[in-house]
Amino acid sequence: MVGSSSPATIILQISIFLFTFPPTFCNFLPSQTLVFPLQTQNFPHRLSAASSSSDKLSFQHNVSLTVSLAAGSPPSMVLDTGSELSWLHCKKAPNLRSVFDPARSSSYLPVPCSRPDCATRTRDLHIPPSCDPKTKLCHVAISYADASSIEGNLARDTFVIGSKTRPGTLFGCMDSGSSSTSEEDGKTTGLMGMNRGALSFVNQMGLSRFSYCISGLDSTGVLILGDARFSWLGSLKYTPLVLETRPLPYFDRVAYTVRLEGIRVGSKLLPLPKSAFVPDHTGAGQTMVDSGTQFTFLLGPVYTALRTEFLKQTEGVLRVVDDPNFVFQGAMDLCYRVESGQPDYKSLPDVNLIFNGAEMRVSGQKLLYRVNGSGGNNQVYCFTFGNSDLLGMEAFVIGHHHQQNLWMEYDLANSRVGFAEVKCDLASQRLLSRV
């Protein structure tokens, strides 16, 4: 979620996949590949039960990407590839369906202020931890762009994923906070971070590679922890990660940052200098690939150029909403009115995001998103690119909506991200038949 989105709502946001894992215990083997089936559904719904196999699970989908795991005693939690510190709700509240109770876990250990974990292991957190004067425990806090926040104490416990366990995993045991999305928060127990930070699930589990394939609603998908080398997958196109060691005010050093070099609409390359895509001396302008953000957001000048060209090429094909003040989700101001049926997706020009060494094609239904509440003969569809400036973001963010039906591989061993066009429902069928 780029460290700034609420874990279960949508201001820049997200699509949520929830998985429940039975607490089975054995040693974690970083070299072993784990395959998990996914099944998308519309939110809100009750959580699906886990299947009989400890390595098979189902999930539910609104508009972000998350995964549930078992930790200590029975509760499940949610995974986000754009966040670092994993956390669990540790205080009962009316809106929460379940919470993590430290008293019920024999493996739970709070982290005191005096431990090195409270300082040296938390260097990547946006808000430095502090010492709770009453409990003498390491206090952590996380805030999000939608004004929600969560805080509590740093702790250790055993985390379980499928049939694998990780004793002594560091996480936040959160007992207070404010949220504008209590209804959505009640659907989850916590969050599991998957970015490149020292405290992320990736680093604590010793993962060198993971992959996922996201499909649309009411379809299937797959999550792979470990190597994913399949003959039918074909060749992935890789783009190197941009690694920054200097602490810059607007650069997230533990995000999956890549180099965006241009954008093409149909056959027309946007007339922008390469400097428009390069971070400045403060770090503002980095490009992050984030499964925790729903749509794709571009800095103002680049967004304006894309908007102008897309408008030009769709003139006579789509009818713009006649209200100049209509903005969807605070940053998407190019919306169309469709009087009946669906837009003619085949007549829309592709939008190609050009990276160093690879291109990501956005086409068809991935270009437009139907606004909830519009229906009948007065449907509204919005362009799935937004203006980062309107959200106060200093970055380009490639969201999961544009990652649908792409095999996405995060190769930490070789510091790169790879992707290839794949039918995710077929990919999951191939893989799950072997599980």
- Helix (H) or strand (E) run with residue 296 in it: strand 296-298
- Please count the helices (runs of H) and the strands (runs of E) in the chain: 5, 28
The active-site residue out of 55, 80, 252, 333 is: 80
The active-site residue out of 124, 157, 290, 333 is: 290
290 is catalytic: yes
Both tokens of residue 176?
A: 């207070």
Residue 275 near residue 364, CB atoms below 8 Å = no
Residues with Cβ within 8 Å of residue 309, at least 6 apart in sequence: 265, 268, 270
Interatomic CA distance for residues 49 and 46, integer angstroms: 9
Interatomic CA distance for residues 197 and 85, integer angstroms: 8
Cα distances (angstroms) measured from residue 165 to each of 29, 30, 71, 326: 9, 11, 9, 48
Dihedral of CA atoms 89, 158, 39, 431 in degrees, nearest 10, equals 160
Interatomic CA distance for residues 319 and 135, integer angstroms: 60
Beta strands in 43-178 (DSSP E): 70-71, 78-80, 87-89, 109-110, 130-131, 138-143, 149-161, 164-178
Both tokens of residue 56?
A: 């098979």
Give the pairing of strands 296-298 and 286-289. Answer: unpaired
101 is catalytic: no
Active site amino acids: 80, 290
